[in-house]
Structure 1
């Protein structure tokens, strides 16, 4: 959005209101609130959301509408088409809980959602995917057309802000001391929404198994809007036993990454995991799962390890290998930093988005 402003564009952010809402005007971006029901795909509520969004878009009259995640992609494409928005871009940020659960109810819901998605995305000029597996799935199910599909690896990270060079050894020791972490302790950190598909329970079990060999830190908070969310009571049971440190949601994660030795994300599926890329940019080795998204970020054996999802034994083995080998941590961390800079720096990613917008605007102008 900042790059678009520098480009000379008028930018609006349409979203449910939240903690970040007041920050948009600080950057010259007008915030427009839109309520959104995340728990159901009830047809009447969904259609009401589409009509509210259509009214907003008719009033704003944007040249480009860019949506992210499943519901906004469906609602946005339909509303944008009804409002006559010239160019519509939809980004698939991952397939999410609807594709990590396989009970009968979820399969039926998935079938219904895909019917609506297939219809809505007919209106999109471009559908962006963050990994090849998601793109292949959409194309194989005919949820979008081959000429719509584009690949952009995430939304980018600021490799200057996320840099190991920002902190001296003395600063790292101070940060550890403030958080009650001894300087010699190996710190293993996970940052995520506290929902089951992120692999939070597997992380907690690994912390229990490796108790005494490393200190585990879990950063994030439950997501009440998600059916698979853990509760604070479940997390606090591990905190009370001294197995993890759980500071909750953090507005600034860089200091936490600065005191981390190993980063872990045992997710069941991702688009492009931003937290993994941020950890790599900070020079940390990563243990992630061998699933879409994670294997786009982590090079197994070079920048970290990839383990099977839901496999606590393999997760523990990979973490323990890094905990016990400082030279391996250093070597993998350096390789991860280089990969983050070369492939995922925000300047590279933003340029790809701006090029796409310019291409679509030229097409519609012609």
Structure 2
């Protein structure tokens, strides 16, 4: 959050303020909290990262609609994450063949991220696509790992599932995305549009995501991401099978995702959006002083 001057709910020396609100569960759970109302209602402008939180601020916190702007805060890195990065060494390192179809899930392996729902969908996927392999890349909570391991052993999926653990080198991530035929993220909830979705989109990957308002912020065009109920293993399996069945569809969705990143989520686009908000606040402040 950028620095701002605030005194007893009023701007200091007549200056107008812009206040950024991230789409965190705190603001959604406690929209009626006195401090939230006190702060938000006294801002000249509130910028938020999602349409969902804008609606909460207007309807439940009673901020005037013309004072709330949707301005994404999280930028993609299209010069680091892009299609066509050579992942052959990583494929060899992970023991994968050229025939394998790769489904990647990147992030902490935990109940919050809900990887177990994907694991439970794997039998229905490999029965149709025996060449499918599933990579879970991220640190793992021990109790959750035991649940995954138990299911994998019970269904003889040891050769289908790879748990890499935490990836220490950030520069390795683009190769992981480019290795994947499908990127999937089916978290139970999210605070903002996840950075991993932006990274996968930037790499031109086909994406399956939990049908959450935060995730839908990534689908500006409406044809970049396939959304599923994160608790419905049948729907998850159907979405994966559909994409593995159709290389042309994967290609089209991946290209749409990359173009969406360049148009809506590139750093310069995010910066222009924020600059525009501050310029409007400064201009309004100047106009107000001239009228006095």
TM bin, normalised by shorter chain, reads: 0.7 to 0.9
What does 1:1-366 correspond to in 2, within 5 Å?
65=3, 87-95=17-25, 110-111=29-30, 114-142=33-61, 144-165=63-84, 167=85, 171-207=86-122, 209-211=124-126, 212-221=130-139, 231-238=141-148, 241=153, 242=158, 244-250=161-167, 251-252=169-170, 253-270=173-190, 271-298=192-219, 302-363=223-284, 366=289
In the aligned structure 1, how far is the partner of 2:284 from the partner of 2:133? 54
Kindly state the Cα deviation for residue 289 of structure 1 after the two structures are TM-superposed: 2.5
For 1:315, what is the secondary structure of its paired residue?
helix
Over 3 Å counting, the alpha-carbon distance change for 1:144 and 1:315 in structure 2 is same
Deviation (angstroms), 1:363: 4.8
Cα separation, 1, equivalents of 2:165 and 2:220:
29
Deviations 1:262-314 (A, max 9, x none): 01122344432322122111111111133212223237983332223422211
- SS at 1:276 equivalent: helix
* 1:143 Cα offset (Å): 5.4
Q: How many residues align structurally?
A: 271
Superposed CA RMSD? 3.3
- Segments of structure 2 that go 5 or more residues without pairing to the other structure are none
C-alpha separation in 2, matches of 1:207 and 1:302: 25
Q: TM-score, normalised by structure 1?
A: 0.64
Structure 1: which 5+ runs fail to align?
1-13, 15-63, 67-76, 100-109, 223-230
